[in-house]
Amino acid sequence: MPLNIVRNDITKMKVDAIVNAANPSLLGGGGVDGAIHRAAGPELLEECRGLGGCETGSAKITGAYRLPCKYVIHTVGPVWHGGLLGERKLLSSCYRESLNLARDAGCESVAFPLISAGAYGYPRDRALDVAVETIGAFLRDHEMTVYLVVFDRASFRIGERRFQAIESYIDDHYVDLRLDKNRRVQSVGFPPTPAPMAYPQECAAPGDLREALDMIDESFSEMLLRKIDEKGMTDAQCYKKANIDRKLFSKIRSDRLYKPSKPTALAFAIALELPLEEARELLEKAGFALSHSSKFDIIVEYFIRQGNYNIYEINEALFAFDQSLLGN
């Protein structure tokens, strides 16, 4: 998945580069900085001494020593002063500069902590927004796998107003499910309604029938490629918007009978901005349905109904509610 939010200790990430939320001296500190230096060993500090510090919003790269990655990219986030001192721009620059260094070093995978969201006091949800937006913009032009490593999922959701609407949507739909069950129970005892007969005059003409049968035979991959064309998108526009990497897309493209996972199939429905019914059709082709007994499904349905097809925002919400993310 090009952008993935995970819960982990960043020093354990097996990626090409991890990013350190450092201070301008680059000589170590607490938080993630302390953890990275401890895990890398004293050679990291030795190398950092020769770098001459780093300005806020910039980044520098070093070796990784005893860490399971190849490089450490040190960046200095802004201290939060209320948001009126250009903090957002500086924070965004941290992500961009780090990604540029990673690209120049030939990295294919990079893991970031939530820069500035600890000792530097940047509000967590806003820090996450800046991270997701800046990394998302970078990934539109580059092939890379980026992990946002969040240490503590529980505190992630609490107090975040934007997730409250989703919370009540989930509640409402669980309620609906119970009501539906009741309705079914109440209808027992009524004579069953006979199924409508298919009269010959209602049958499709042979030409239409062939077309209809062709549609039934259409595989997931064929439907996807057809819809990409109908939307006037390029393949790359579509898989990037779906948070899917090029390799997986090529597999789907070349294998007519490819069976994607549900998060992959839904990611394409989001990238294509399909309304709910069409999203269901695409899912069906992969053998799945949207169900009201799954939080994952209800959250995705919520965003589709809102007309919000921003996959990164959807993934932030899925992460907050402990669900799988969309993409591969």
Closer by beta carbon to ligand AR6, 117 or else 279? 117
Report the nearest approach of ligand AR6 to the CB of residue 121 (Å). Answer: 7
Instruction: Out of 16, 33, 87, 301, name the contact with ligand AR6 by CB under 6 A.
Output: 33
* Spatial separation of the C-alpha atoms in residues 240 and 65, rounded to whole Å: 33
Report the nearest approach of ligand AR6 to the CB of residue 241 (Å). Answer: 28
Task: Specify the stretch interacting with ligand AR6 by CB under 6 A; choose among 48-56, 65-73, 85-93, 144-152.
Answer: 144-152
- Secondary structure (3-state) at 292: coil
Instruction: Out of 65, 151, 258, 309, name the contact with ligand AR6 by CB under 6 A.
Output: 151
Specify the residue for token string 């918007």.
Answer: 241
* Spatial separation of the C-alpha atoms in residues 118 and 115, rounded to whole Å: 8
Taking residue 43's Cβ as centre, other Cβ atoms within 10 Å add up to 13
Instruction: Out of 9, 108, 208, 211, name the contact with ligand AR6 by CB under 6 A.
Output: 9
Residue 10 sits in the site that holds ligand AR6 (CB under 6 A): yes
Token pair listed for 319 = 């992460």
Count of residues in contact with ligand AR6, rule CB under 6 A: 24
Check: CB of residue 48 under 8 Å from CB of residue 25: no
Closer by beta carbon to ligand AR6, 10 or else 318? 10
Q: Which residues pair with 148 in a beta bridge?
A: 5, 112
Closer by beta carbon to ligand AR6, 144 or else 149? 149
* Binding map of ligand AR6 across residues 42-61, x = CB under 6 A, - = no contact: --------------------
Residue 316 sits in the site that holds ligand AR6 (CB under 6 A): no
Report the nearest approach of ligand AR6 to the CB of residue 39 (Å). Answer: 8
Closer by beta carbon to ligand AR6, 62 or else 116? 116
Distance of CA 175 to the CA centre of its chain: 28
Residue 29 sits in the site that holds ligand AR6 (CB under 6 A): yes
* Spatial separation of the C-alpha atoms in residues 294 and 283, rounded to whole Å: 15
Question: How many secondary structure helices (H) and strands (E) does the chain include?
Answer: 14, 6
Active site residues: 33
Residue 149 sits in the site that holds ligand AR6 (CB under 6 A): yes
* Binding map of ligand AR6 across residues 65-94, x = CB under 6 A, - = no contact: ------------x-----------------
Residues of span 119-138 touching ligand AR6 by CB under 6 A:
119-120
- Residue 49 CA: distances (Å) to CA of 52, 55, 62: 7, 15, 11
Closer by beta carbon to ligand AR6, 39 or else 271? 39
Closer by beta carbon to ligand AR6, 9 or else 322? 9
DSSP-derived letter for residue 273 is: T
- Residue 144 CA: distances (Å) to CA of 1, 138, 141, 149: 9, 9, 10, 16
Report the nearest approach of ligand AR6 to the CB of residue 149 (Å). Answer: 5
* 136 Cβ contact list (under 8 Å, min separation 6): 3, 312
Task: Specify the stretch interacting with ligand AR6 by CB under 6 A; choose among 15-23, 45-53, 197-205, 233-241.
Answer: 15-23
The pairing of beta strand 71-76 with beta strand 59-63: antiparallel
Q: H-helix or E-strand containing 150?
A: strand 145-150
Closer by beta carbon to ligand AR6, 154 or else 198? 154
Q: H-helix or E-strand containing 17?
A: strand 17-22
- Residue 316 CA: distances (Å) to CA of 51, 129, 262: 35, 9, 18
Binding stretches for ligand AR6 (CB under 6 A)? 9-11, 21-23, 29-33, 35, 77, 113-120, 149, 151-152
